[in-house]
Structure 1
Amino acid sequence: MPSATTESQPVDAQAAPGKIDFDDYSASYDTLLHESTKLYAEDSEYFARYKVDLIKEATRHPVRRVLEYGCGTGRNIAYLQTAFPDAEIVGTDVSAVSLEVAATANPKARFEIEREGMALGAFDLIFVASVFHHIPPLERPTVMRTLAGRLAPGGSIDIFEHNPFNPVTRRIVSTCPFDADAVLLKPAELRALFQSAGLKLTRQVYCLFVPPKLSWLMPLEKHLRWLPLGGQYWISASQVR
């Protein structure tokens, strides 16, 4: 893997504003997300379906417990339940108000307020979608070590992040109110975080190349995953054996 000493520096870290309180956006989250992402997809649910479908297709190990770290209002939870119908689905977040929304919409899932030192047990799949760019850079290693400590033997941590090399992504982030505190990560920084937590990298691909209105081009995406121009990237890791 390339050295993270230069490439891994956070994008626009010097300009990062104060921390966003997602309690303030829990009621309007879906509307704001739709407004911010309609340049790419009219249906904002598309992003949840897309990522969970990728995870389901790639997962080869048994999945009995799934954690979505930073689940927010639970937009991904129903798709995770459909993808892994026999698994216990747990969502955590720092926003108590968002978790109330998530629990109402997903009564069969379990939700917990994310806090330091909490005991949740081990998970076969830990799913993190567009969360790390909200975590202050100095806190990211601690969060990754926390996630590594929750990973069951043979399981995987799958993290999706915004691709800072994609101009459409940067525009979406710059216009989204709840991304006001975003400090985008280059892939090398996320790889370094995995490795510093003692995890073995198993996958890095780029995704979200084709907007839904051009769905007939979707089969081409699997051939473009090496190209660093997708709207997001996806990195997976497992425990070192």
Structure 2
Amino acid sequence: MGAPSGEGEAAANGKIDFDDYSADYDELLRESTKLYAEDSEYFARYKVDLIRGAVRRPIARVLEYGCGTGRNIGYLQAAFPDAEIVGTDVSAASLQVAAASNPQARFEVESEDLELGRFDLIFVASVFHHIPPTQRAGVMETLAGRLAPGGSIDIFEHNPFNPVTQRIVSTCPFDADAILLKPKELRSLFRHAGLQLQRQTYCLFVPPRLSWFLPLERFLGWLPLGGQYWVSAGHAR
């Protein structure tokens, strides 16, 4: 889930090069997140399930920006079986892994001049904290330009107020360049890109081993203690 920098630039400015982690990304993620969930696939299922439950419109095209090794792609395909699924990332090595696991999806190396058309849903999971703050506005403008009328950009990010999240980020090798952002920064990025906030909610309060408490999460979205938060925006009508 790389930020929009080329491989040479990433090496020069000390950013994480996700090509270096493509082969063992899943194992490293599992090791880093086992404090919360033994099954690292839980996070992908959880987020896509939230979006699937919220969407009330036809979805013909889905983009996952920063798809990495494609961990979310299969769940997006299952949630939106009639949609074209496209994944992009700056890490070509990660996309090779993603394509091998998800042959029905389309994958493209992310770049400033990449032309993909418009999408009904743009899914961005744990990507913006890898993007240098000075580049975040440009990325949001790019995503806004790819969003179809009536569509939404759905972003999940780490909650910097949650101590478990802080622990996970601090011990994860590919989060060494992470600069966590608060929801108000994403709201500001939405506004500057001409987008209108549709949703802000905190999530991932309860680890899966306490599954009997999971139904309570929908009442806690206002509480800034979840492991992550979810913000959604679309073009102003």
- TM-score, length-scaled by structure 2: 0.94
Deviations 1:19-42 (A, max 9, x none): 100000000100000000000000
| Partner residue in 2 for 1:36 | 32
Instruction: Give the 3-state SS of the residue equivalent to 1:140 in structure 2.
Output: helix
| Partner residue in 2 for 1:225 | 221
1:101 to 94, 97, 100: 97
Instruction: Give the 3-state SS of the residue equivalent to 2:74 in structure 1.
Output: helix
Instruction: Give the 3-state SS of the residue equivalent to 1:227 in structure 2.
Output: coil
Return the letter of the residue paired with 1:100: Q
User: Is 1:149–2:145 an aligned residue pair?
Assistant: yes
- d(CA) in 2 for partners of 1:102, 1:44: 16
**Once the 2 structures are TM-superposed, how far is the Cα of residue 220 of structure 1 from its aligned partner?**
0.4
2:194 to 189, 193, 198: 198
**Once the 2 structures are TM-superposed, how far is the Cα of residue 103 of structure 1 from its aligned partner?**
0.1
- d(CA) in 2 for partners of 1:218, 1:25: 32
User: Is 1:234–2:207 an aligned residue pair?
Assistant: no
**Once the 2 structures are TM-superposed, how far is the Cα of residue 61 of structure 1 from its aligned partner?**
1.5
| Partner residue in 1 for 2:168 | 172
Show the 5 A alignment for 1:57-206. 57-206=53-202
**Once the 2 structures are TM-superposed, how far is the Cα of residue 231 of structure 1 from its aligned partner?**
0.1
**Once the 2 structures are TM-superposed, how far is the Cα of residue 62 of structure 1 from its aligned partner?**
1.1
- d(CA) in 2 for partners of 1:192, 1:117: 24
Return the letter of the residue paired with 2:144: A
**Once the 2 structures are TM-superposed, how far is the Cα of residue 117 of structure 1 from its aligned partner?**
1.6
- d(CA) in 1 for partners of 2:113, 2:151: 21
- d(CA) in 2 for partners of 1:61, 1:188: 27
- d(CA) in 2 for partners of 1:187, 1:77: 25
Return the letter of the residue paired with 2:165: T
Deviations 1:168-222 (A, max 9, x none): 0000000000000000001100110011100000000000000000000000000
Number of residue pairs matched by the alignment: 225
User: Is 1:26–2:33 an aligned residue pair?
Assistant: no
- d(CA) in 2 for partners of 1:59, 1:133: 25
Higher RCO, 1 or 2 (CA under 8 Å, sep at least 6)? 1
Deviations 1:103-144 (A, max 9, x none): 000000000000012110000000000000000000000000
Return the letter of the residue paired with 1:44: S
**Once the 2 structures are TM-superposed, how far is the Cα of residue 94 of structure 1 from its aligned partner?**
0.1
| Partner residue in 2 for 1:6 | none
Instruction: Give the 3-state SS of the residue equivalent to 1:90 in structure 2.
Output: strand
Let me know the Cα RMSD of the aligned residues: 0.6
- d(CA) in 2 for partners of 1:155, 1:225: 22
**Once the 2 structures are TM-superposed, how far is the Cα of residue 18 of structure 1 from its aligned partner?**
2.1
- d(CA) in 2 for partners of 1:107, 1:142: 30
Return the letter of the residue paired with 1:75: R
- TM-score, length-scaled by structure 1: 0.93
Return the letter of the residue paired with 1:172: I
| Partner residue in 2 for 1:9 | none
